[in-house]
Amino acid sequence: MIRPILHYPDPRLRQAAEPVAQVDDDVRKLVDDMAETMYAAPGVGLAAPQIGEGKRIFIMDVAKEDEPSDLRVFINPEIVERHGEIAWEEGCLSFPGAREEITRAERIRVRALDRDGKTFEMVFEGLAAVAVQHENDHLDGKLMIDHLSLIRRRLLHREMSKIAASKRRETKDDVAAE
Ligand code: NI
């Protein structure tokens, strides 16, 4: 099921997510919804808090258009090593239309549970490393805007608040028209 994606400045995006106690069918159902939602958007990553689920889960698929899909599921992830630096122009499904250059670690090692509840450890580089760090931030209520300079932060906040306000007006008009 495709779920609605929360947009900044929705306060639910700021809440730290809770660890998953057990990877069961409910968790797998949530992962399936997340995948459907991410591919429909389309996006290369999605964290559970972005659909209002306060659980430490994110998914990503950074396969290129001409490559087969490569869905990866991270439950209770932990970044255990970070090396180097890379600047990448990032987007986020919770910041529609925004692109911002952000500097993060170039190579990371992650430990997490997969959709079967099995622990795995993997090294990621470049775009995949950036995506993992971006999505992992969401689990702590941290957003791409927090990585920007004060001026960029203010501009992006204003832009997103404007979009959110006009969406609220549209919804109100829809309700009034009924
Ligand atoms: Ni994001």
| Side chain identity, residue 36 | E
Q: Quick one: pLDDT at residue 108?
A: 98
How far, in Å, from the CA of 173 to the mean position of ligand 1?
29
| Residue the block writes with tokens 């760090």 | 133
How far, in Å, from the CA of 134 to the mean position of ligand 1?
6
Question: How many domains does the chain divide into?
Answer: 1
Q: Which residues are catalytic?
A: 135
Q: What is the CATH number of the domain that holds 107?
A: 3.90.45.10
H and E: helices and strands count for the chain = 3, 7
Q: What is the pLDDT of residues 108-130, one digit of tens each?
A: 999 999 999 999 999 999 999 99
Proportion of the chain above pLDDT 90, given as a percent: 90
How far, in Å, from the CA of 170 to the mean position of ligand 1?
24
**pLDDT of residue 174 exceeding 90:** no
Q: Quick one: pLDDT at residue 171?
A: 83
Which of 52, 37, 10, 16 is CA-nearest to residue 138? 16
Any domain includes 2: no
Any domain includes 45: yes
Any domain includes 6: no
Q: In whole angstroms, what is the distance from residue 115 CA to residue 72 CA?
A: 9
Sorting pLDDT into bands at 50, 70 and 90, what band is 159?
very high
Any domain includes 145: yes
Q: In whole angstroms, what is the distance from residue 137 CA to residue 125 CA?
A: 17
Q: Quick one: pLDDT at residue 177?
A: 67
Ordered DSSP codes for the chain: ---PPP-TT-GGGGSPPBPPS---HHHHHHHHHHHHHHHHTT-SEEEGGGGT--BSEEEE----TTS----EEEEEEEEEEEES-EEEEE--TTSTT--EEEEE-SEEEEEEE-TTS-EEEEEEEHHHHHHHHHHHHHHTT--GGGGS-HHHHHHHHHHHHHHHHHHHHHHHHHHHH-
Any domain includes 75: yes
Any domain includes 23: yes
Any domain includes 4: no
- Mapped onto helix, strand or coil, the DSSP state of residue 52 is coil
Query: Which residue range forms the structural domain that includes residue 117?
Result: 11-177
pTM: 0.94
Sorting pLDDT into bands at 50, 70 and 90, what band is 84?
very high
How far, in Å, from the CA of 178 to the mean position of ligand 1?
34
Any domain includes 1: no
How far, in Å, from the CA of 152 to the mean position of ligand 1?
17
In this structure, are residues 77 and 112 in contact, taking their beta carbons and an 8 Å threshold? yes
The token duo for 81 is: 């090593």
